[in-house]
Every structure is written in structure tokens, then in C-alpha cells.
Amino acid sequence: MLAGRTALVTGAAHGIGAATAGLLTAHGARVLLADVDADGLAATAAALPAGSTAVLAGDLTAPGHPAEIVAAAVDLGAGELDIVVNNAGYNLNARLVEMSDEAWQAMLDIHVTAPFAVLRAAGPHLIAAAERDRAAGREVFRKVVSITSIALMGSAYQANYAAAKAAVVGLTKSLAKEWGPHLVNVNAVGFGSVDTRLTRPRDADNVLHLPGGDVRLGLSEKVMTVAAQSIPSGRVASPQEAAGAVFLLCTPWSDWITGQVLLATGGQVYGMSG
């Protein structure tokens, strides 16, 4: 289905990003895997078909790095880039009245500014490829998929995270109009609770290593139990189930879908509450 296509997936070392990369390569795409976790990237790449991936580790919030990963993806595609998946992210939970300026800004940096910078660098390649196809009499849609997570539900103790994800909705809908004439579909996926490092129990091993210091990930078991009870099936999604929604928006089956937030929540209707 995606033979000959080249994709860039950020946050590809674990969870939904790794599962998305697996689906893309299984259907013929070449994928540039990007993440801050070099060891995790290597493990993800090793589990995928030989020759189907390249990796580039680095901090997506560092100046110039978004352009570097886009350039690496274009190199992998021999000058072409067809799919961009903005998946990288993490959370810094706190009560709003106790939230630091740094915790607020960090969420904007990784969830809003980083996708903006990636798409700013990728845009010329996506548009040029579509225009070349159009000049040759072919109509081929390129794809952008970002993650809005709980933006439309909100969640207690995650005002910074939810606000940043809500900004991605505006970015998505605006770019869908701007790039639509160039046959670039721009969509997003809004998840509910998914079994990833962000939602697993907080413990000493559940840590994200960032250049500025380590971040403890995870939620309490009580919170996740309540979240599972709010889903009709009684459980949270697997990364593979979540990745299926992302994959759909990367395929030709979504050519007539743009400017949308696809809710892949399993029927979950609310986030965490106090």
C-alpha cells in the first residue's frame, strides 16, 4: 500500500511511535525514526525489516534539530518525503497553582513549537513532490498526522499538556487549508488512555532522559484504574491499537480526509479529574 513512500516519525523509540513505524514499514514505506532516546531507537529499528529504516537521535526542541531530521528523511527517500508523523512528547503533571513557568514552557516547546518547526522544514518537500506529480498528470496526496491526545477532553493536573495539545488542533486545521491546494492532507489523532510509558505506574525505572535532566513518567495505578473504567471495553488501548488510527491517516484510504481530529479513544469521554 505504501511501497515507495518515505515517512518521518518522531517519538519513534517507544509506544505509539514505534508501533506506527512498524505498520508503515510492514506496508512498504521507508521510515526515518527520530527520538531523543538513542538506545530505544536502535531497538525499534532492529525489530523492523532490514533496510526499511534509518535513525537519528536528538533533542527535538534543540534549535536546528527538526530541520536535521527532515533532511535525513529526505535523504532516506532519495529526495522524496511523503508522510510526517508528529508523535514526540511527554508530560509534566502538576496542579496549576503549583506549576512552574518551566513546566508550562516545556510542554509548549515539545508539543507545539517542535511540530511547527518540523512542518516548516518538511513543507517545501511535501509540496514540491505533490506538484511534480501533478505536472506529470498524477494525483498523489502527501500526509501529515499529529497527535492531539487529550486536547478535546482536558485532564486535571495536565493543564500545560492539554493546552499545548489543543494548540496542535489549530495548527492542524490551519495547515489543512494552507496545504490542501497542494494535495497535502493534514490531520491529527486524539487519543484517550493508551498503555505507554506516560500512563504506566510511576517508578524508578520509568524515566525519560532529556539533555536538561531526567523526567519521571507515569501515573498512579488509581488514576489508570479510573481511566479504564471510563472506557466501554473496560481497558486502555494498546500502542498497536492507537497506531492503527495514525496509520489510517497515512494511507490513500484517507485521501478525502483533511483538517480533522480523529478520536481514537475507545469511547472514553473524559480525562483525569481531581
For 255, list phi and psi in degrees, rounded to 5. -60, -25
Residue written as cell 490551519?
A: 174
DSSP collapsed to 3 states, the chain:
CCCCCEEEEECCCCHHHHHHHHHHHHCCCEEEEEECCHHHHHHHHHCCCCCCEEEEECCCCCCCHHHHHHHHHHHHCCCCCCEEEECCCCCCCCCHHHCCHHHHHHHHHHHHHHHHHHHHHHHHHHHHHHHHHHHCCCCCCEEEEEECCCCCCCCCCCHHHHHHHHHHHHHHHHHHHHHHHHCEEEEEEEECCECCCCCCECCCCCEEEECCEEEECCECHHHHHHHHHCCCCCCCECHHHHHHHHHHCCCHHHCCCCCCEEEECCCCCCCCCC
* Cell, residue 123: 513543507
Of the residues 90, 157, 161, 270, only one is catalytic, namely 161
Whether 161 is catalytic: yes
The grid coordinates of residue 237 equal: 488501548
Residues classed as catalytic:
161
